[in-house]
């Protein structure tokens, strides 16, 4: 029942594959402008990822998978003699586009694995396209499953509508489907369990103010935007019962890299005895890294902080702009994936999840 309601509520899209091309909704322009751009080359998709026209860990992975199909199409049209060798430069270009979200590298590896078998077939392009579509569809289905599992956890904490807080955008715009953190929140709203979503604006890129608030408002889900620094105050007021966020990379011990500011939310949540839920597909789990200390943290230009649009707002100083942080597993109450739920994550539980 809830799954049918969720399918019906899948309205916002970040990307589409049609007519042998990738279409991206330009997230730099939202919410003022809904502009879809057609992409026909891997280089252009890599640039779109770098410039955050498409962003959010799962959406980056899906876009990179389709970019490899575009690259293969182009090489075949140019009659290259060694498709596999020609694609190496495209794999590298895409892998260099952003460093933190592991879904990018996971999707590129899936495309690389597929290439080996695709080259044995009559139609390697079809096989690569099928693989990219399957990455897309698997993410969409994972969103629905994590939404169901996350909803169940919220149901267990009571039947009264609750105030929840989210950070950044872990919604439809960040995925192939319903969203991760926002997928759980959408499901909980459909189930009558959400009174208000408190949206941190998410300085400096304002994913909360521009993207999450836009998604929620579009669906009539009650929400209120607050500056990031208000989060502790709102928790202290006893207003918030759940922190629900996505993830860019979860390591083998359950540490979570997510948008800058997530760590301080988790510290505050623990102090105020508020539960912290991380929602992510298993493609976000990196069992190769033992702990969050090994996650490469992206630093972006200080201009994102010093300027608002074209207008400089800061004094003539340098700015430091790490755009992700790592929340230790010990501060996370539960990680929700499509494979299942991990309460109080640690290395042993993460291993059991990934072996299931």
The catalytic site residues sit at: 248
The verdict on 177 binding ligand MRU (CB under 6 A) reads: no
What would the x/- binding string for ligand MRU be over residues 206 to 235, using CB under 6 A?
A: -x----------------------------
How far apart are CB 200 and ligand MRU at their closest, in Å?
11
**Token duo for residue 220:** 């009539």
Q: Which residue has the tokens 């922190």?
A: 243
Return the residues of window 89-128 that contact ligand MRU according to CB under 6 A. 101
The verdict on 259 binding ligand MRU (CB under 6 A) reads: yes
Q: How far apart are CA 161 and CA 155, in angstroms?
A: 10
What would the x/- binding string for ligand MRU be over residues 5 to 44, using CB under 6 A?
A: ----------------------------------------
Count Cβ neighbours within 10 Å for each residue of 325-344 and write b for 16 or more, e otherwise.
Answer: bbbbbebbbbbbbbbebbee
Query: Binding residue for ligand MRU (CB under 6 A) from 170, 188, 225, 231?
Result: 170
Beta bridge partners of 325: 258
How far apart are CB 74 and ligand MRU at their closest, in Å?
26
Q: Which residues contact 211 (CB under 8 A, 6 or more apart)?
A: 27, 30, 31, 169, 171, 173, 174
The verdict on 55 binding ligand MRU (CB under 6 A) reads: yes
Task: Using CB positions, name the residue nearest to ligand MRU.
Answer: 246
The verdict on 243 binding ligand MRU (CB under 6 A) reads: no
The verdict on 253 binding ligand MRU (CB under 6 A) reads: no
Q: Which residue has the tokens 């912290």?
A: 276
Q: How far apart are CA 23 and CA 11, in angstroms?
A: 16
With respect to ligand MRU, which residue has the nearer C-beta, 247 or 306?
A: 247
The verdict on 168 binding ligand MRU (CB under 6 A) reads: yes
The verdict on 64 binding ligand MRU (CB under 6 A) reads: no
Query: Binding residue for ligand MRU (CB under 6 A) from 180, 253, 283, 321?
Result: 180
The verdict on 338 binding ligand MRU (CB under 6 A) reads: no
The verdict on 53 binding ligand MRU (CB under 6 A) reads: no
Q: How far is CA 24 from the centre of its chain?
A: 15
| Residue pair 38/21 in contact by the 8 Å Cβ criterion | yes
Stretch that binds ligand MRU, among 172-180, 186-194, 302-310, 343-351 (CB under 6 A): 172-180
Question: Angle at CA 203, nearest 5°, toward 272 and 188?
Answer: 55
Q: How far apart are CA 145 and CA 129, in angstroms?
A: 24
Find, among 200, 222, 196, the residue nearest to 211 by Cα: 200
Strand pairing of 36-39 and 21-25? antiparallel
Binding region for ligand MRU (CB under 6 A): 55-58, 101, 168, 170, 174-175, 180, 207, 246-248, 258-259, 323
């Amino acid at each position: 029942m809830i799954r049918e309601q969720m399918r019906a509520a899948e309205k916002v899209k970040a990307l589409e594959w049609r007519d042998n091309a990738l279409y991206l909704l330009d997230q730099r322009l939202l919410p003022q402008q809904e502009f879809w751009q057609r992409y026909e080359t891997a280089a252009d998709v890599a640039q779109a990822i770098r410039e955050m026209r498409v962003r959010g860990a799962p959406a980056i992975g899906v876009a990179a998978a389709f970019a490899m199909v575009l690259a293969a199409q182009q090489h075949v049209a140019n009659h290259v003699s060694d498709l596999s060798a020609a694609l190496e430069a495209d794999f590298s270009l895409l892998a260099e586009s952003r460093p933190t979200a592991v879904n990018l590298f996971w999707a590129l590896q899936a495309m690389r694995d597929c290439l080996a078998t695709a080259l044995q077939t009559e139609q390697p392009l079809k096989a690569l396209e099928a693989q990219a579509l399957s990455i897309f569809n698997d993410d969409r289905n994972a969103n629905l499953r994590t939404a169901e599992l996350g909803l169940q956890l919220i149901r267990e904490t009571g039947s009264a509508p609750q105030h929840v807080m989210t950070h950044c955008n872990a919604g439809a715009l960040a995925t192939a489907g319903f969203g991760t953190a926002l997928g759980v929140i959408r499901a909980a709203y459909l189930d009558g369990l959400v009174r208000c979503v408190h949206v941190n604006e998410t300085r400096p890129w304002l994913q909360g103010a521009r993207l999450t608030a836009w998604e929620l408002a579009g669906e009539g889900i009650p929400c209120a935007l607050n500056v990031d620094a208000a989060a502790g105050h709102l928790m202290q007021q006893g207003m918030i019962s759940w922190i629900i966020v996505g993830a860019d990379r979860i390591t083998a011990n359950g540490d979570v890299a997510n948008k800058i500011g997530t760590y301080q939310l988790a510290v505050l949540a623990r102090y105020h005895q508020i539960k912290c839920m991380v929602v992510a597909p298993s493609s976000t789990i990196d069992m190769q890294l033992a702990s969050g200390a090994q996650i490469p943290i992206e630093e972006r230009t200080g201009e994102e902080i010093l300027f608002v649009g074209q207008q400089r707002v800061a004094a003539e100083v340098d700015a430091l702009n790490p755009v992700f942080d790592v929340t230790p597993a010990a501060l996370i109450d539960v990680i929700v994936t499509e494979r299942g739920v991990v309460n109080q994550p640690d290395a042993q539980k993460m291993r059991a999840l990934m072996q299931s």
